[in-house]
Amino acid sequence: MRNCYNFNPIKDFKSCLYSRGLYENVSVAFDYLKFETGNEVYTENLPKNYIIAFLSGEHEVTGGSIGKHLFKSGDLVCLPRHSKISGITRNSGEIITISFDIPLSHCDQRIIHNYLTSQPMQRMKITTIPIRQAMKCFFDMMRYLIDNERVCLHLHKIKLDEFFILLRGFYKKSEVISFLGPAILGMSEFSIYIYSHYHTAANLQELIENSCYSRAVFYRKFKENFGTLTPQRWFNIQKRSQFLDVGSALEMTPKVMMHKLNLRSMSTMTRLCKDLFDCSPNALIKKLKY
């Protein structure tokens, strides 16, 4: 029996007041799935990186980047974007999947940078790590929230950050590197540049100029690596997310906001905020408080 699960990170999430009308695109998604013995899944091309937590049962997964592996209850694995995989459930069970682009907190960026600068760029075997007690509590909570439809785009984003905090806190650095390694190595130099520099660029033109590519080459490479979203659309989505994260902090002021966003001047921030939200930074801060 073939299961019709679609590895598509875009879900029909209910939006809380904070995320409604503010998050235009979802870059991370959690999903909770139950499989009966004999259920099958198949995909030619994973659209994002996928972390899979095997909560119960036994699931045999086959793919070019993973070979053939029998995952059991308590296994945690990260499958890189563009993987071709098929699977069959040997004993009925449950899994939670997390689709994401790349972890972008400062701590996670340092882990990625250290890996890229200290390890040879060669094919890396996909490695499982155990679901330790802290992670088990995390996935139990996610299962409860999804089961009771208490999720929104904002919560998914926060929970991804929490997942990586737990990953850094309860696993050795060598485990984190081997776990994320295949996803990191699957990134092109262009993707790494974009993810490493978009947050400090005041606008798309600055991002293009600092890339050392012509505008035409930049757009072509962007389409190859990021799909159908235009560079401007993608850049605006990321900047909106930055503004929302910073602006929602307690006792935030426009001046502090400017520094936290790494923008050079108040006029630059005001112009960007006007383009993204059609309001001033001060009005956005007030809007996010209520």
Name the amino acid, one letter, at 231: P
Lowest mean pLDDT across 10-14, 198-202, 267-271: 10-14
Q: What are phi and psi of 52, to 5 degrees?
A: -120, 125
pLDDT score for 256: 93
pTM above 0.85, yes or no: no
pLDDT score for 66: 72
pLDDT digits (tens, 9 = 90+) for 203-247: 899 999 999 999 999 999 998 887 778 999 889 888 887 888 888
pLDDT digits (tens, 9 = 90+) for 106-154: 566 556 556 555 555 445 577 899 999 999 999 999 999 998 887 777 7
Which residues lie closer than 8 Å to 186 by C-beta, 6 or more apart?
Answer: 49, 80, 81, 82
281: enclosing H helix or E strand? helix 281-289
CA distances from 79 to 99, 104, 139 (A): 10, 18, 18
User: d(Cα 49, Cα 213) in Å, to the nearest integer?
Assistant: 26
Residue 86, SS3 per DSSP: strand
pLDDT digits (tens, 9 = 90+) for 27-51: 678 889 999 998 888 887 777 888 9
Q: What are phi and psi of 119, to 5 degrees?
A: -115, 145
